């Protein structure tokens, strides 16, 4: 039969039985046709769980006859027939140690050594080796060396992606290929628009694994190109892309918008690990996307029983970090409490602490679990596992303890011993905007006339640092900052720069929101000075007028 007609007929068949019946009707076929038949069988019979009908395929007489010929006539095969058969048999999960596979692999490596393989053949052999659990690094290195001798500018997108994948293995084994990578990065930049979702994901993942931090133009182009592929990425491919965004510190508004469309539409069919990575991306980039968070909350309520403990934490922690309660919050936290009750002992100590700490940030109090969290046994477990009781961990414990003390006066269980408490909270997301603080201090000096009437970055006995503190007597007059007698009230000015808010939002991050809540409960009059209210104020007088209205709203305006 003519090869073109053969492949047209073959590709119309949808089961292995149909394929075997068709092959039985032929008297003669080329090795290319036979290897194509094996490939078609692998396409229809293999899914994510492996071979659907092992006995029906592997014990079939036609299949066994094909394998016999490939094993004992491997030296007579064309390059295409040999390598297509090898790829198909790997996909069909044929034992790599079998004589059939050993024969095909040996023949492929022999032709590689003789320089008989084209670029397309080299990539096909490389792909086959990468599919094996323990690929031969020496052979992959040989393939890469042969590829270097070819004209990179003529490589197809598939060939480029395969070489990137091979380099992940060979470089990990100590091979130095930066010159080749620089050339590949330059050429790939010119073909980004031709890359399909699979190749886009492979190359981004390779750039992460190979630490290509200098390839900024390529990374930027790939990240932008990935936007149009979001609906078409598999779960694993999307995870690779998100990891690249995180690794290279890239943020793309259109990418977030595409996720906001895609995630709510597919949330109930997405793998939990993919959703976890989406939430990690939003959390690390401080992106509060209500469409994504609302959809994730609904998925958690429905499916949390099937999640791993790490996935449970990865779904929930961003809600606290970014200070957001979805419309389904009551059901969400009821479900979380149920899951915690049944699986509490399965959580790793640090995972559990992160989870409960995020809950208190948004006023969801894990009172039923606090006796276990504050117990000596749990604290010993924290200390025994990395990162131990470092500053971040003790800050989380202290913040939970302070929250319970201030917001849950009915709690009568064990307390956190003072040796586990920090003297001041570490607030990595909420570092002070020095430029904004300077502008506010200048305005206050204009308003209060003397610098003695306020102090900045004031440590309190309650673990928090106040950006600016003003003391008042009983009649509401401002007292010198150093005076400690006759102080009737204290005003805490929270000078909130952009880094205390979610990106492109007026929503305070969780750690800053809880700080302002606690300062109020501790007796301070909290006055928020957010960046977006003062960035348009042009001069010192305007700033002073603004501060007067914010701090002393019931007194007359400036007299000068």
In 415-539, which ranges are continuous DSSP H helix? Answer: 434-448, 510-521, 531-534
End-to-end CA distance of the chain: 100
Q: In tens digits, what is the pLDDT along the chain, a chain of 560 residues?
A: 788 999 999 999 999 999 999 999 998 889 999 999 999 999 999 987 888 888 889 999 999 999 999 999 999 999 999 999 999 999 999 998 899 999 999 999 999 999 999 999 999 999 999 988 777 778 898 999 899 888 999 999 999 999 999 998 888 655 678 889 999 999 999 999 999 999 999 999 999 999 999 999 999 999 999 999 999 999 999 999 999 999 999 988 999 999 999 999 999 999 999 999 999 999 999 999 999 999 999 999 999 999 999 999 999 999 999 999 999 999 999 999 999 999 999 999 999 999 999 999 999 999 999 999 999 999 999 999 999 999 999 999 999 999 999 999 999 999 999 999 999 886 655 578 999 999 999 999 999 999 999 999 999 888 999 999 999 999 999 999 999 999 999 999 999 999 999 999 999 999 999 999 999 999 999 999 999 999 999 899 999 999 999 999 877 555 44
Tell me the C-alpha distance between 250 and 408, whole Å. Answer: 41
Tell me the C-alpha distance between 514 and 329, whole Å. Answer: 18
Q: What is the pLDDT, as a whole number, of residue 174?
A: 55
Task: Tell me if residue 111 falls in helix, strand or coil.
Answer: helix
- Ranges of each domain in the chain: 1-116, 153-250, 253-422, 431-552
* Beta-carbon count within 10 A of 70 CB: 25
Residue 52's nearest CA partner among 65, 63, 38, 41 is: 41
84-88: long-range contacts at Cβ-Cβ below 8 A with a sequence spacing of 24 or more? 84/32, 84/35, 84/36, 84/38, 84/39, 84/124, 85/31, 85/34, 85/35, 85/38, 86/124, 86/125, 86/128, 87/39, 87/124, 87/127, 87/128, 87/131, 88/35, 88/38, 88/39, 88/41, 88/42
Q: What is the pLDDT, as a whole number, of residue 330?
A: 97
Please, are residues 271 and 263 in contact by the beta-carbon 8 Å criterion?
Answer: no
Residue the block writes with tokens 């003669």: 28
Q: What is the pLDDT, as a whole number, of residue 430?
A: 55
Is the pTM here over 0.95, yes or no? no
Structure-block tokens of residue 204: 């981004």
| Distance from chain centroid for Cα 553 | 45
Please, are residues 241 and 204 in contact by the beta-carbon 8 Å criterion?
Answer: yes
Query: Quick check: bond before 387 cis, omega within 30?
Result: yes
Angle at 249 between CA 248 and CA 251, to 5 degrees: 120
Residue 296's nearest CA partner among 331, 323, 267, 325 is: 267
Nearest 5°: phi and psi at 467?
Answer: -60, -55
Look at strands 525-530 and 489-496 and give their pairing.
parallel
Residue the block writes with tokens 């390839």: 215
CATH of domain 431-552: 3.40.960
Residue 209's nearest CA partner among 253, 177, 255 is: 177
Task: Tell me if residue 492 falls in helix, strand or coil.
Answer: strand
């Amino acid at each position: 039969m003519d090869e073109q007609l053969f492949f047209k007929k073959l590709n119309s068949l949808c089961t292995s039985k149909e394929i075997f019946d068709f092959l039985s009707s032929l008297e003669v076929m080329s090795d290319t046709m036979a290897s194509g038949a094996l490939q078609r069988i692998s396409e229809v019979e293999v899914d994510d769980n492996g071979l659907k009908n092992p006995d029906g395929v592997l014990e079939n007489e036609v299949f066994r006859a094909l394998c016999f010929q490939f094993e004992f006539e491997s030296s007579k095969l064309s390059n295409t027939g040999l390598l297509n058969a090898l790829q198909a048999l790997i996909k069909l999960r044929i034992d790599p140690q079998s004589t059939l596979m050993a024969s095909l692999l040996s023949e492929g490596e022999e032709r590689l050594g003789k320089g008989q393989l084209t670029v397309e053949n080299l990539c096909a052999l490389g792909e086959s080796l990468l599919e094996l659990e323990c690929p031969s690094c020496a052979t992959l290195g040989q393939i890469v060396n042969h590829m270097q001798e070819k004209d990179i500018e003529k490589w197809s997108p598939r060939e480029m992606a395969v070489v990137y994948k091979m380099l992940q293995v060979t470089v990990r084994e100590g091979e130095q290929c930066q010159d080749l990578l620089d050339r590949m990065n330059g050429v790939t930049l010119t073909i980004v628009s031709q890359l399909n979702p699979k190749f886009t994901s492979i190359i981004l993942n390779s750039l992460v694994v190979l630490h290509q931090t200098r390839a900024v133009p390529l990374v930027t182009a790939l990240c932008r190109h990935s936007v149009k592929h979001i609906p078409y990425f598999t779960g694993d491919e999307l995870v690779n892309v998100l990891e690249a965004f995180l690794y290279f510190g890239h943020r793309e508004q259109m990418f977030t918008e595409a996720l906001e469309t895609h995630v709510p539409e597919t949330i109930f069919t997405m793998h939990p690990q993919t959703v976890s990575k989406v939430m990690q991306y939003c959390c690390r980039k401080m992106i509060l996307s209500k469409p994504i968070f609302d959809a994730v909350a609904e998925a958690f309520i429905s499916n949390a029983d099937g999640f791993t403990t790490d996935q449970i934490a990865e779904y929930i922690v961003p809600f606290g970090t970014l200070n957001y309660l979805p419309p389904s919050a009551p059901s969400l936290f009821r479900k979380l409490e149920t899951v915690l009750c049944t699986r509490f002992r399965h959580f790793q100590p640090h995972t559990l602490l992160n989870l409960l700490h995020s809950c208190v940030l948004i006023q969801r109090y894990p009172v039923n679990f606090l006796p276990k969290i504050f117990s000596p046994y749990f604290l010993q477990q924290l200390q025994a596992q990395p990162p131990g009781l470092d500053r971040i961990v003790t800050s989380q414990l202290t913040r939970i303890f302070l929250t319970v003390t201030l917001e849950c006066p009915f709690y009568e269980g064990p307390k956190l011993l003072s040796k586990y408490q920090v003297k001041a909270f570490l607030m990595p997301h909420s570092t002070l905007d020095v430029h904004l603080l300077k502008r506010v201090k200048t305005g206050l000096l204009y308003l209060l006339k003397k610098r003695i009437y306020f102090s900045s970055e004031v440590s309190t006995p309650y673990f928090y640092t106040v950006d600016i503190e003003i003391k008042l007597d009983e009649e509401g007059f401002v007292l010198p900052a150093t005076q400690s007698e006759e102080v009737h009230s204290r005003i805490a000015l929270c000078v909130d720069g952009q880094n205390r808010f979610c990106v492109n939002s007026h929503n305070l991050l969780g750690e800053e929101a809880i700080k302002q809540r606690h300062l109020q409960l501790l007796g301070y009059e909290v006055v928020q000075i957010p960046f977006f209210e003062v960035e348009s104020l042009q001069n010192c007088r305007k700033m002073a007028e603004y501060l007067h209205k914010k701090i002393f709203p019931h007194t007359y305006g400036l007299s000068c």
